[in-house]
A and B are shown apart, each in its own frame.
Chain A
Amino acid sequence: MRLTMLGLIALLLGVAGWRLCTAPQGYATQDRMQISAPVQAAHPAGTDELGRDRAVRLSLALLLGVGGACCASALASFCTLLVSSFASFGPPWISRTLLYLSDLFMTLPWIFLLMLVRSALPLSLPPLQSGLLTFLLLGLLGIPVFLRLHHSRASALAASGWMLHAHATGLTLAQRLRSLLPHLRPLLLAQFLLYVPACLAAEANLGALGLGLSEPLPSLGTFIANLQSAALQAPSALVYLPIAVLVLVLLALELSLFGAES
């Protein structure tokens, strides 16, 4: 099940990449003679209300969304691993402080915290920078979510008999940290797989609140934000295509996790 779902996601990303590479127009190119155009040879998914090719924009949004979510999840996993591993070998006050800080971030509802922090950062950045900032934020705010679990596992391993033996035989801190990694790998993988759809959904929610990627860079969130006006101006099933793709990708990611569980 997991491989099938991941294969489906890879296929969607492959099609998106192929469309981006072969499309004659860019994601921001406006064809004012073809506003809200239906399906045709030049525009296989029609155009939006500004005459931009929907298939190209959706392809880029999908690649940015999934790529950004994977990077954010990888950043969160890596930082959580680093912080929890160092804390487990340090004095107890470091662990207590880190867990307290993690609880501080978890005191606020996650979407509220995300909205608060993102709205406080500059909103008029160039599109690429706004995208980088959004996903960086998602990566950093993912650390407190998993820190407690990682820390408890890392601490249990650090206090285990074989680790004490390693310490007694003179292994350095770096060597002991390195020997923790294989034991933390399943947890890291689970965290990574769990957090990717969470980042995708969070980016979509931020976009719906007007805090996503700046125009003209497309994102799945901005498609949601524009859905109301697009559905009213040009009532066509094509306006729901980005939504269908987002739901399909999230469903595939969720089922791949379900496959991992079973």
Chain B
Amino acid sequence: MRFLRRALRLLSLVVLAVLGTSLLMYVAPGYFSDAREMDAAHAGVARADLVSLQAQQSTLPRLLRSEIHGWLRGDLGTSRQYGTPVSSLIAERSALSAKLLLSGVALGWLAALLLTLPLGMQRSSVPEVFLVCGTALLLAVPAGLLATLCMVTGHGGPVLVLALLVGVRDIKLLQRMARTAWAAPYILHARAQGISTWRILGIHVLASLRHDLLALAVMSFTLALSALVPVEVIFDHPGLGQLAWSAAMNRDLPVLTVVTAIMAMCVGLASLSAETRRAGAASCA
């Protein structure tokens, strides 16, 4: 019942987010304009299209009706800037963005886990100091700057940038979690009994951290999703982030509403899964 309530709440938030985007774009300057008007060869056609668009979307209810009509038609409307069905644009680009996100998050997590889990059992704090200095420096570099530096120096790509952004933000939390887990009395007892470090790490430490790791994974995914737009725009990676930016700049409402719905749904589902897991863990306790 609680899950159903949360799911309905998420759905209402997504619908409102889409409505809010439609309203924002409708009142934005330049909605009823077209770059082709500046080209004498195409200005006539562009103006005719705009007159037809204004007739269809002269008021906000009419605009929403034309959007819903596009969604019900199955192709999610037609893109104003590309003239193609939105569904085909989204399908192509979602695959690329999903691959980028998964690769970036997986690489970031791998690096963070490899760095922090062994450090958790170290007594010396010297390696930790180096790690803290490195992460502090990387945390001070915004996503757009990191992407630009990779472009300018010719080293690294969008996957590396996302991995660094995600990994650096997770390291601090993972470090604390690892230290607490390694300091648990039963782990100390296992080590005293001579059980191998890898066995302890794989079976006991990671198992005890699984709920926290899941919550952190959700947070990493949301962070990577947030950084998707500047990373894809700067690297000219033809994914959803670049499509969203291009749609916002060109007032391409059909594309923007769909991308907004996808982003809102992804973030909402991630939060819903984390809340459900937390509620489940709390009820078990």
Contacts and interface: CB of A to CB of B under 8 A. Distances in A.
Interface of A: 100, 103-104, 106-112, 115-117, 119-122, 197, 201-202, 204-205, 207-210, 221, 224-225, 227-228, 231, 243, 246-248, 250-251, 254-255, 258
Contacts of B268: 107
A120 B24 contact: yes
Contact of A107 (B14, B139, B145): B14
Contact of B140 (A100, A108, A115, A247): A247
A91 B260 CA distance: 32
Interface of B: 9, 13-14, 16-17, 20-21, 24-25, 27-29, 136-137, 139-145, 147-149, 151-152, 222, 225-230, 233-234, 241, 244-245, 248-249, 256, 260, 263-264, 267-268
Contacts of A106: 267
Given A115-B245, A117-B24, A120-B25, A224 B148 contact: yes
Given A108-B267, A224-B144, A119 B13 contact: no
A158 to B, nearest CB: 25
Contact of B143 (A205, A254, A258): A205
Nearest to B153: A231
Nearest to A204: B142
9 contacts: A109-B222, A109-B263, A116-B21, A117-B24, A119-B245, A122-B29, A202-B142, A208-B148, A225-B148
B24 A116 contact: yes
Given A120-B25, A122-B29, A231 B152 contact: yes
Nearest to A111: B226
A255 B264 contact: no
B101 to A, nearest CB: 11
Contact of B145 (A108, A243, A255): A243
A108 B142 contact: no
B263 A104 contact: no
A208 B225 CA distance: 17
B149 to A, nearest CB: 7
B144 A120 contact: no
Contacts of A107: 13-14, 17, 264, 267-268
A111 B263 CA distance: 12
A205 B144 CA distance: 5
Contacts of A210: 249
Contacts of A225: 148
Contact of A227 (B141, B143, B152, B244): B152
A202 B226 CA distance: 11
B165 to A, nearest CB: 11
